[in-house]
Amino acid sequence: MLLFRGKCFWLAFIPLFAALSPAQQLPPARAEDVGSVDAVITASYAAISHAPGKAADLQRFQSLFRTGAQLIKMDGQDGRPAMKAGTIEQVTKMLQSTQHPERGHFEKEIARRTEQYGSIAHAWSTYESTDTENGRKSYVRGINSISLINDGQRWWIVSAQWTYETKARPIPRPYLGSKK
């Protein structure tokens, strides 16, 4: 009987959860952005990169992710890991409110390790961020851990985790290898 009550208890909350997180329609993706794992990852870097005076293309960025996709930033504080997580919808709203279009921001992939089995793939994508498109002024490097799926029509990012390189935690040599 206790188990039945537990099920009834949780069933009562289903309409509340549905009301709190309505299915949001994400922007449509460009066909050339979602035809392959490589295309999705390349498009994600292009969408968040922008010249001074322009904003990142957050609609394009958002269109690469499945509704509800999780983005997780792992950041070390005092030598201890700290996690900041949100859905693509939450992260896009946060990025819109914190953009600094007067400054340029260019992220480019410098190496990738990808594994794929059927309609699932995972990529370790090493990147660097600079203020200028062709400049050598790198201000941060890090690694994105990206999980993707193909639903038979296109590739989607379903989660992305990333962390920055630090002096205490340099990027390991295998993640600086060739782009695959």
Q: Is 6 helix (H, G, I), strand (E, B) or coil?
A: helix
d(CA 40, CA 63): 10
* pLDDT digit string, tens, across residues 112-126: 999 999 999 999 999
Mean pLDDT, all residues of the chain: 82
Q: Is there a contact between 116 and 37 (Cβ–Cβ < 8 Å)?
A: yes
pTM value surpassing 0.85: no
Q: Is 155 helix (H, G, I), strand (E, B) or coil?
A: strand
Structure-derived torsion over alpha carbons of residues 17, 60, 106, 116, reported in degrees to the nearest 10: 80
What's the token pair of residue 92? 């896009």
What's the token pair of residue 104? 């340029």
* pLDDT digit string, tens, across residues 9-62: 333 333 333 333 444 577 899 999 999 999 999 999 999 998 888 888 999 999
| Domain 27-176 = CATH 3.40.710.10 | no
The domain spans of the chain are: 27-176
What's the token pair of residue 95? 């990025």
pLDDT of 175 reads 95
pLDDT of 4 reads 38
